[in-house]
Structure 1
């Protein structure tokens, strides 16, 4: 019962803090984490809400990764393959190496493999944290898209290194870089195949389901099933879920307007509640971490401060190098293109669920029965990095955006949305012209269909009483049917054009989704 009360309380707190965060212009997930810390510090609070490490990733990551991946597209990934390699792979490996070296020097007697495990815990910025915090601030979509791309794939790199380091620590062995590379490639390839396979099966099943509620419910189950299947087969569950979301969006039907609205509403609610519970539980679990540290807490916090500085400095230096590299390329979709963008992206390296889950999943003992080397300190350092990189940037990001002036560029990017609107309007106008010529749609009807439909609805509200009335109503009904068919065809063409634009390189999928959402609403209202 205590667990149920806790979950319900966190969901209620999330709903309230969303409104508070909007009023204060602060990211509400960071407020949830602070609330969790405050609640955990209340004396006499029961310890019955400890997290099961084996459930954190499967419960929280699949739905949140799926929701985040739905906002991007294959075209974006094809255009940003360099960012994936440089940020999701290279930067993660460099961070792991430098953090492991720092911890090996700071903590006496720690095994190299245990230090590498800590590096893997704190290396990957979390896509959920980045989306929840940076997504609510007016920053260029191009910058946010690169941050999301980084976050969607870096967990896979960190997980492979972490699992190998833990196994080597428990068994008392060493890590083979060649074996790590083979495991990463095999896990990534397997995950892609699993994601594509599940997406194909899902589309087949969805095509036979006529109930929109059932179709939306299936999309809610798919991320969990995909993650578990991939994990069971030794592949990357993170990559499998991302591929599933991308493939389902790529194969979306232009006329699935009602389903898109239903699914979008469902996932908005799910994402908000799951994010609130996750960040609230992170804060609540900090008390147990502090209690495990005991009298060694001051020394451990000093070590944690040094590691936090290493993590922040490494990212800042890497983004500076990325800026100097990107500005020499003629790629308008790349980031960072300016020093201000490099500063912003360095500040947005938020850690989140993956860091917490990996820290809590450290074994208690090795294969010989000895305690896992410096387990309490490694956990405290990992959680400290999570708090520092999430809370401080979360509360200061709106101020930093205004100081750097990048919000003005974000306003300028709305031109991309206007271009997609123009394409949709042209497609609808061309289809109406075709309907007018081929189907015999009257000119006055084609120029004012909205008013005509409203008048037809009023005229047809009563029953005809004479033969003349019946003939007039029959003509009006025929005109109404042609108007409806023409308008439906025009809107369908507009939606198809927006979806085609969304799949093209260089097109912001977020802008296309906003235009598509308005078209879907228009279609449903007319229906």
Structure 2
């Protein structure tokens, strides 16, 4: 079992790496779709499919979804949540409940599906996915207000869907719907999740900040505590019948404020944390959609041809939810075009499928029906906005227009650095090394040149010592100073986007840290 777990994880991670590389070359296709396609391929090929273990909902939610939502929560300012709290509650709770009741009733009446099963189907499709939303916009920005509401909805509506699902399952097994009991369960789960997640995160934050300001501080220990926080909070919250999802999102919100006000206490540690968050978010997002692709492939392969009832049930649930989302958007006074965008923005992803796979009390026939219906809901919730949203959102050509300008700017920046070192008295070896390093900022050194430099650094005992080492360091610092001055002068002309200039400027500062800071230097 242990070996199979390693092989399964290895297979999925390789699929993540390959799909992300493919996405780099397929710029017109959203990375999410490339991840999904590679996942489907892994699920369809007998050899690779056999290496991936059966889906375990608890492990997936604990190790993948909890950290991902924690990171997303940390990237959300508490001030935004506080200002939009009423709207968040009405969207993440009110809208989800309204869709569950109205669409569930419609499925029961129009499709002759038993009420409890209809409620289960609709509840599973309640959670929306902010990551999947980014993949369907065609690389274009959503209107600020609409985008904020959709992301807040995706962060907080998972708990609502889970409670409604639990109510449906209880109704399915017992034959009775206990509204009072379910309402209390929701208040305990959601409210307790908020208090527990925020409380534990606050205590851990105090402990880490106390360590940070003492002689006991150690970056490696701090990072371990930080990375284990969402997993610990999720597991303990679930043990207490609280919403682990709400708990980790609340914890992330607490940590957002901490990051804002402690970044200069230990800049190296903070920078490492930011890089880990960015890396973790990217990997986990890709991991989620590769897994989704594998699950979709397995569900479709397990389908036995027969009635197509599942197809039109899925279309009915998605279509009615779309109409209700549009009506709600108009109710909260969104313009017609923004209401359409909001309605289409209710994209579903892996959490929906994870909930579908977590229901174990259904009969074999009902279980297959639910899985196929949710597959249809997920696929159409991604495909429909992919076709429509790019037509509704303004095209952002900034990146395309700026690309050649940025390349020219970078070349001029490096040229300024090379010009600065020309009058310096340097040995030929030092001058060649510094010139190579500066040109490497353009990523234009040939592979043969790299291999030559690699050979020197690998086989020679010490590349530079004494005076030559000092020459190299000073030459690089002079060059970096000239490059920064060039960018500063360029910023004063107001001809380029400041974000682009800041990005290049930060690259130079990072390069300087590699030269000056021993902790950032490879031996």
TM surpasses 0.5 = yes
Give yes or no for the alignment of 1:255 onto 2:264. yes
SS in 1 for 2:308: helix
Give yes or no for the alignment of 1:163 onto 2:157. no
Contact 1:290 1:297 in 2 (8 A): no
Counterparts of 2:5 and 2:311 in 1: how far apart (Å)? Answer: 30
Contact 1:363 1:372 in 2 (8 A): no
Match of 2:229 in 1: 222
Match of 2:318 in 1: 308
The equivalent position to 2:219 in structure 1, one of 212, 215, 227, is: 212
Alpha-carbon distance change, 163 to 523 in structure 1, aligned in 2, over 3 angstroms:
farther
Contact 1:121 1:158 in 2 (8 A): yes
The equivalent position to 1:359 in structure 2, one of 353, 356, 361, is: 356
- Listed one character per residue, the Cα deviations across residues 460-490 of structure 1 (whole Å, up to 9, x for unaligned) are x999xxxxxxxxxxxxxxxxxxxxxxxxxxx
- Listed one character per residue, the Cα deviations across residues 262-310 of structure 1 (whole Å, up to 9, x for unaligned) are 1111122222222222211211122432355423352322322222222
Contact 1:113 1:175 in 2 (8 A): no
Contact 2:122 2:317 in 1 (8 A): no
SS in 2 for 1:51: coil
Alpha-carbon distance change, 373 to 297 in structure 1, aligned in 2, over 3 angstroms:
closer
Match of 2:371 in 1: 379
Counterparts of 2:23 and 2:317 in 1: how far apart (Å)? Answer: 30
| Deviation of 1:520 (Å) | 13
| Deviation of 1:3 (Å) | 4.8
SS in 1 for 2:70: helix
Give yes or no for the alignment of 1:13 onto 2:15. yes
Alignment gaps of 5+ in structure 2: 400-419, 425-464, 468-498, 518-523
Contact 2:101 2:119 in 1 (8 A): yes
Give yes or no for the alignment of 1:117 onto 2:109. no
Alpha-carbon distance change, 285 to 5 in structure 1, aligned in 2, over 3 angstroms:
same
The alignment's C-alpha RMSD in Å is 3.4
Counterparts of 1:57 and 1:135 in 2: how far apart (Å)? Answer: 28
- Listed one character per residue, the Cα deviations across residues 92-124 of structure 1 (whole Å, up to 9, x for unaligned) are 11221233123323554x431221111110122
Give yes or no for the alignment of 1:57 onto 2:49. no
More contact order relative to length (CA 8 Å, sep ≥ 6): 1
| Deviation of 1:14 (Å) | 2.6
The equivalent position to 1:317 in structure 2, one of 318, 323, 327, is: 327
SS in 2 for 1:251: helix
Contact 2:78 2:256 in 1 (8 A): no
Match of 2:50 in 1: 46
Alpha-carbon distance change, 264 to 81 in structure 1, aligned in 2, over 3 angstroms:
same
Contact 1:61 1:353 in 2 (8 A): no
Contact 2:140 2:394 in 1 (8 A): no
Counterparts of 1:128 and 1:404 in 2: how far apart (Å)? Answer: 18
Give yes or no for the alignment of 1:237 onto 2:240. no
| Deviation of 1:195 (Å) | 1.4
Counterparts of 2:203 and 2:119 in 1: how far apart (Å)? Answer: 39
| Deviation of 1:342 (Å) | 2.5
Match of 1:427 in 2: none
Q: How many residues align?
A: 407
Alignment gaps of 5+ in structure 1: 326-335, 366-370, 411-450, 456-460, 464-510
SS in 2 for 1:272: helix
Give yes or no for the alignment of 1:73 onto 2:77. yes
- Listed one character per residue, the Cα deviations across residues 336-389 of structure 1 (whole Å, up to 9, x for unaligned) are 4x4333322222211112211110011245xxxxx3772211121012211221
The equivalent position to 2:93 in structure 1, one of 65, 89, 96, is: 89
Match of 2:183 in 1: 181
Give the stretch that moved more between structures: 118-127 or 129-138.
129-138
Counterparts of 2:320 and 2:347 in 1: how far apart (Å)? Answer: 14
- Listed one character per residue, the Cα deviations across residues 6-54 of structure 1 (whole Å, up to 9, x for unaligned) are 4333323333433443542332122212222233233575385320233
Counterparts of 1:61 and 1:315 in 2: how far apart (Å)? Answer: 25
Match of 1:507 in 2: none
Contact 1:57 1:353 in 2 (8 A): no
Alpha-carbon distance change, 243 to 321 in structure 1, aligned in 2, over 3 angstroms:
same
| Deviation of 1:204 (Å) | 2.9
Match of 1:470 in 2: none
Contact 1:139 1:407 in 2 (8 A): no
Contact 1:293 1:377 in 2 (8 A): no
Alpha-carbon distance change, 69 to 131 in structure 1, aligned in 2, over 3 angstroms:
farther
Give yes or no for the alignment of 1:265 onto 2:275. yes
Alpha-carbon distance change, 521 to 377 in structure 1, aligned in 2, over 3 angstroms:
farther
Counterparts of 1:242 and 1:92 in 2: how far apart (Å)? Answer: 18
The equivalent position to 1:203 in structure 2, one of 186, 202, 205, is: 205
Counterparts of 1:217 and 1:392 in 2: how far apart (Å)? Answer: 41
SS in 1 for 2:304: helix
| Deviation of 1:245 (Å) | 0.9
| Deviation of 1:125 (Å) | 0.9
- Listed one character per residue, the Cα deviations across residues 121-159 of structure 1 (whole Å, up to 9, x for unaligned) are 012212343356559543344432222111111111111
Give the stretch that moved more between structures: 158-167 or 198-207.
198-207
Alpha-carbon distance change, 523 to 218 in structure 1, aligned in 2, over 3 angstroms:
farther
Match of 2:449 in 1: none
SS in 1 for 2:142: coil
SS in 2 for 1:294: coil
Alpha-carbon distance change, 245 to 293 in structure 1, aligned in 2, over 3 angstroms:
same
Give yes or no for the alignment of 1:152 onto 2:152. no
